[in-house]
Amino acid sequence: MANPFFSAAGYPWGREDAVALHHALAQAVPDAGQAALLYQQAGGAIEHLNTAQAPADVWRDALDALSRAAGLRRLCELVRADQRFAAVRGAIDAVFTATSDVELSLLDNDVLVLDRTNLRSCLALLDAADSPVRVLIVRGRTKTGKSRGRYLFDRAARQRGARSLYLFAGIITTVDDVVAQLFSALSALDRIPARGTTTDDAWYQAVCLQLQTVAAERGQPLWVAIDDLGTDDDGAPLLDPEIRRFCEHVALNTRNPFFAAWVRLMLIHYPDGAVPTRWEPEFWREDRTDHADVQQPHVEAFLRAWATARRRTLLDGEIVTLARDVIAAADADGPAPRLRRLDEALTAALRELERT
């Protein structure tokens, strides 16, 4: 993934290192005139900056504006090169070396997402402003982690300042449910186009046009993950097939650059076979999961990262032994899917490490 500061559509206020940079700038450069000069030198439009505010507010507005104008990197370079602002250098160095949240294997609430190298690469394309990729479809066998990829999708969305939606069987049953969720995320339920007597396709297109209008008015991108688009083990649809057809219509609209500026799609448990004929190959990517995806090197890499994050020392021999035991437990016969057995074994190993 690209640097989460310099590739984001807005300043990533949800990150601790982002808040630390804002605080350091407000402390080291409290003079509004000096802040405005740096802002202008970095490419900011001075007429958009209110300097008659407290230093923290001036810098908040400056960081927001420069992030939208792709000037944040230039600001960091200017401040880091100026000896007068040496106190800010540590915070700026942290920005330049910042790692995307999408690269993490252990997410909030102890959610493990190991391997998924292809998914992470696809998300990097989904995130990049100069990439035509706007749609990701996820296929694979049952209980192989298809749905778990939504956590990485959510991280990528939040990192970019987008609203993230996860829709699945149980909270949606019709296309109208999906449309209501989309407009609700923008606080615009009253803006849903009326169905009238038009065809389904005509209404779907009206929905897409209104969605891009509202998103642009709000300045709020939407990243939407929709699960259960395929069938169960008996071949029965998990959702009304019309929902998938609506999703495919929305996906097609992402070929329009203006619509694509506001919407990303992740279509999970998408059926095997051909995609719609009008889907050009450059605007979508596929991720496919399998029971055997996670192997010992992935567990070893995770354990090294876990130890580094917690300032723990684990010898290579310990890591290899732990990883081997985890994979052995995952590969053992049992009623639970392999991925669940792997999660349980790795979680137990981490708890034991935390007790020592």
Contact 92, 17 (CB under 8 A): no
- Classify residue 11 by its DSSP letter: -
Q: Which of 112, 183, 186 is nearest to 145 (CA)?
A: 112
What is the reported pLDDT for 70? Answer: 86
DSSP string, 286-339: EEEE-TT---HHHHHHHHHHHHHHTT----HHHHHHHHHHHHHHHHS--SS-HH
Task: Report residue 116's pLDDT band, with 50, 70 and 90 as the boundaries.
Answer: confident
What is the reported pLDDT for 9? Answer: 64
pLDDT at 99 over 80: no
What is the reported pLDDT for 3? Answer: 78
pLDDT at 308 over 80: no
Every domain of the chain and the residues it spans: 16-96, 101-289, 296-355
- Region 101-289: CATH code: 3.40.50.300
DSSP 3-state assignment of 38? helix
pLDDT tens, 258-291?
Answer: 999 999 999 999 999 999 999 999 999 999 999 8
**What are the E-state strand segments in 90-174?**
135-140, 163-167
Q: Which of 158, 210, 166, 157 is nearest to 188 (CA)?
A: 210
**Token duo for residue 132:** 């035509």
pLDDT at 209 over 80: yes
pLDDT at 164 over 80: yes
pLDDT tens, 328-353?
Answer: 999 998 889 998 999 899 999 998 99
Length of the chain: 356
Contact 136, 287 (CB under 8 A): yes
Q: Which of 46-50, 76-80, 113-117 has the highest mean pLDDT?
A: 76-80
Measured CA to CA, the distance from residue 58 to residue 30 in angstroms comes to 9
pTM metric for this prediction: 0.76
Contact 265, 136 (CB under 8 A): yes
